[in-house]
């Protein structure tokens, strides 16, 4: 009997059939990195508070989560990629551009002045008055690119802890010799006004369409690599290149257009128009792309319910959700903590460049690394990489130390998701790959990111930036250890090396020799029906039609 995977295609250094795929990944992910990293600080620039930002992310948790699984369902049900992708890109561009036209909130502010002095023990601050300041960066009349963080208490009620507050290093000498005068501006208006609800409504549509666009690119890449030969990691490399280029480029353009570094002085117009131009180019490349038509599945929901009952799939999704928590936290508040350290906008963009450039050799070695290390171990390493990245920002005071810290992003984000995508191709039969990728995208990018962003916002509001990053980093370490323990105690029995000898669900996938590592962690689940499936038909083995 012929092997299900078929003969392994000889990979070519240049494959003209995959040129438009490379261009599309470069433009789509380049556009995403040109705008989305700046949306959190853009929200602050139009007057939204930290609590409102957290509320936006909480709402997006329930709205954008519907898009990836729905997109995967439509593709698997009808077998057509191109119409869904083109529609998503158009709506994605329009809805995100509308965010640019939301006017900034007009508020009146009241000025409050208070004294700050060093406690007798020299390790804490005392604030005059009975109310804790709302801004964790104390406004002292001197400027400095670095600051120090102190636990702070109220002078009138020493038992009341306000949290950790940052004070410019240039004021430390004066602080040791006496009381400093600080001030803060308090908005006199109310939160959750028309500006907030307008932003939330538009952002809801925009995030849903962005999730749909990104969800479709992975199954398209998998199918085109299978059809025309190639390596999935090398194709995804072009998405990393796009992200590495356009994030710092957008930051430089924002700096050039802005009149200052304050929230109201920073102009984000270049980010929105760069996003539009790149997505417009992707429409052309998608229109020219030879996207195949896949065989529709007649029982998507039924088969999906069956595959979701498998223990390795459930464990994979649960820990993918936790990884999304940490990713959502640092992606939402990374620029906030760097701004608090006095970072220029171009440096914010360079944080993406470091991680994406570092991920390039990993993309080329995807198959070899996964074969040697295994999916579970790579996901565990991703937890530790998240922990190092988050903890690193809680320890540094100079924003330029971000470069060695951001090397961890290559593992925790880019390489991790490529491994997760190929893992979906291992776990699911061919007619459910897009659906499982959609569910994984929902769990990681929507549920996980939404919970991480929401919880992180309220944690920052309670304990301050530094302590919030430190606590989240310790939790990431614990989750990585937990996943490894769960695998050692329970999930190892589902490893391929311990699998029963019955045939899996069509060997659990029509093995794509060029994209799926030859050894997988969870490749041993038996057929959904309990019986071995018949060999693939001639129709299933036929090349995909050009769509």
Q: What is the pLDDT of residue 329?
A: 93
Across the chain, which distance is largest between two alpha carbons, in Å?
86
Sheet holding 180-187, edge to edge: 139-140, 180-187, 109-118, 125-127, 147-154, 161-168
Name the nearest CA neighbour of 87 among 74, 98, 76: 74
Instruction: Confirm whether 15-107+191-293 and 301-496 share one CATH topology.
Output: yes
pTM of the model: 0.61
Domain boundaries, the chain: 15-107+191-293, 109-187, 301-496
Q: What is the pLDDT of residue 543?
A: 35
Distance of alpha carbon 410 from alpha carbon 362, whole angstroms: 8
222: left (phi over 0), alpha (psi -120 to 50) or beta: alpha
Distance of alpha carbon 192 from alpha carbon 531, whole angstroms: 57
Q: Is 190's pLDDT higher than 60?
A: yes
Tokens standing for 521?
Answer: 């962690």
Q: Residues 444, 323: contact at Cβ < 8 Å? A: yes
Distance of alpha carbon 326 from alpha carbon 319, whole angstroms: 11
Q: What is the pLDDT of residue 164?
A: 76
Q: Residues 520, 372: contact at Cβ < 8 Å? A: no
User: Which residue has better confidence, 160 or 325?
Assistant: 325
Q: What is the pLDDT of residue 107?
A: 61
Distance of alpha carbon 366 from alpha carbon 370, whole angstroms: 6
Q: What is the pLDDT of residue 185?
A: 66
Strands 125-127, 545-546: pairing kind: unpaired
Q: Residues 351, 402: contact at Cβ < 8 Å? A: yes
Q: Residues 217, 336: contact at Cβ < 8 Å? A: no
Distance of alpha carbon 360 from alpha carbon 235, whole angstroms: 11
Q: How many CB atoms lie within 10 A of CB 177?
A: 8
Summarised one tens digit per residue, pLDDT across range 279-304 is 999 999 999 988 766 656 556 677 67
* Beta bridge pairs of residue 293: 545
Name the nearest CA neighbour of 291 among 12, 20, 87, 15: 20
Place of tokens 């240039």: 170
Q: How many CB atoms lie within 10 A of CB 527?
A: 16
Burial (CB < 10 A; 0-12, 13-18, 19+), residue 372, is exposed
Q: What is the pLDDT of residue 24?
A: 94
Burial (CB < 10 A; 0-12, 13-18, 19+), residue 121, is exposed
For residue 149, the 8-state DSSP code is: E
3-state secondary structure of 40: helix
Cβ contacts of residue 40 below 8 Å, gap of 6+? Answer: 53, 332, 333, 335, 336
Q: What is the pLDDT of residue 446?
A: 76
Mean pLDDT estimate for the chain: 77
**Confidence bin at 200 (pLDDT 50/70/90):** very high
User: Which residue has better confidence, 219 or 505?
Assistant: 219
Q: Is 528's pLDDT higher than 70?
A: no
Distance of alpha carbon 222 from alpha carbon 20, whole angstroms: 14
Q: What is the pLDDT of residue 4?
A: 38
Distance of alpha carbon 370 from alpha carbon 521, whole angstroms: 10
Distance of alpha carbon 198 from alpha carbon 200, whole angstroms: 5
* Domain covering 301-496: architecture: Up-down Bundle (1.20)
The per-residue DSSP string of 43-103 comes to HHHTT--HHHHHHHHHHHHHHGGGHHHHHHHHHHHH---HHHHHHHHHHHHHHHHHHHTSP
For residue 268, the 8-state DSSP code is: -
Place of tokens 């400095």: 144
Domain 15-107+191-293 coded CATH 1.20.1260.10: no
What sign for the dihedral angle of Cα 331, 362, 218, 520? negative
Tokens standing for 364?
Answer: 């080329």
Summarised one tens digit per residue, pLDDT across range 511-527 is 332 333 322 222 222 22
The long-range contacts involving 285-289, CB below 8 angstroms and separated by at least 24 positions, are 285/20, 285/23, 285/24, 285/27, 286/20, 286/24, 286/82, 286/85, 286/86, 286/89, 287/82, 287/86, 288/20, 289/20, 289/21, 289/24, 289/82, 289/220, 289/224
């Amino acid at each position: 009997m012929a092997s299900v995977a078929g003969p392994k295609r000889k990979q070519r250094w240049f494959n003209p059939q995959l040129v438009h795929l490379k261009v599309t990944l470069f433009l789509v992910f380049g556009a995403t990195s040109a705008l989305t990293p700046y949306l959190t600080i853009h929200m602050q620039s139009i007057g939204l508070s930290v609590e409102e930002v957290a509320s936006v992310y909480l709402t997006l948790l329930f709205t954008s989560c519907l898009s990836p699984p729905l997109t995967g369902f439509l593709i698997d049900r009808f077998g057509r990629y191109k119409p869904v992708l083109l529609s998503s890109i158009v709506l994605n561009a329009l809805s995100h551009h509308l965010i640019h036209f939301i006017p900034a909130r007009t508020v009146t502010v009241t000025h409050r002045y208070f004294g700050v002095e060093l406690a007798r023990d020299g390790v804490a601050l005392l604030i005059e008055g009975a109310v804790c300041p709302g801004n964790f960066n104390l406004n002292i009349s001197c400027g400095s690119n670095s600051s120090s963080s102190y636990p702070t208490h109220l002078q009138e009620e020493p038992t009341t802890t306000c949290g950790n507050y940052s004070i410019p290093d240039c004021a430390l000498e004066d602080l040791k010799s006496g009381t400093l005068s600080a001030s803060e501006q308090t908005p006199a208006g109310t939160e959750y006004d028309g500006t907030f609800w307008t932003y939330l409504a538009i952002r809801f549509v925009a995030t849903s369409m962005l999730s749909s666009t990104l969800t479709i690119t992975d199954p398209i890449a998998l199918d085109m690599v299978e059809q025309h030969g190639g390596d999935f990691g090398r194709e995804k490399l072009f998405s990393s290149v796009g992200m590495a280029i356009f994030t710092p480029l957008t930051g430089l353009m924002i700096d050039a257009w802005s009149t200052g570094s304050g929230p109201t002085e920073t102009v984000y117009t270049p980010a929105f128009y760069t996003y539009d131009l790149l997505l417009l180019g992707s429409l052309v490349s998608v229109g020219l792309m030879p996207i195949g038509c896949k065989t529709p599945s007649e029982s998507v929901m039924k088969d999906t319910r069956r595959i979701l009952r498998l223990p390795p799939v459930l464990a994979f999704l649960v820990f993918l959700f936790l990884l999304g928590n940490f990713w959502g936290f640092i992606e939402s508040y990374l620029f906030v903590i760097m701004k608090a350290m006095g970072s220029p906008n171009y440096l914010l963009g360079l944080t993406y460049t470091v991680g994406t450039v570092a991920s390039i050799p990993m993309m080329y070695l995807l198959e070899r690394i996964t074969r040697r290390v295994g999916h579970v171990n790579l996901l565990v390493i991703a937890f530790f990489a998240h922990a190092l990245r988050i903890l690193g920002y809680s320890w540094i005071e100079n924003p330029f130390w971000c470069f060695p810290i951001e090397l961890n992003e290559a593992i925790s984000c880019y390489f991790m998701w490529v491994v997760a995508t190929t893992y979906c191709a291992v776990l699911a039969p061919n007619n459910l790959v897009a659906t499982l990728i959609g569910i994984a995208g929902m769990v990681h990018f929507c549920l996980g990111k939404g919970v991480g962003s929401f919880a992180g916002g309220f944690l920052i509001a309670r304990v301050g930036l530094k302590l919030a990053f430190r606590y989240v980093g310790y939790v990431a370490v614990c989750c990585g250890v937990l996943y490894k323990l769960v695998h050692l105690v329970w999930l190892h029995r589902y490893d391929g090396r311990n699998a029963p000898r019955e045939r899996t669900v069509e060997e659990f996938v029509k093995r794509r020799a060029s994209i799926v590592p030859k050894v997988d962690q969870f490749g041993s689940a038996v057929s959904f029906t309990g019986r071995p499936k018949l060999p693939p038909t001639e129709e299933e083995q036929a090349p995909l039609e050009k769509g």
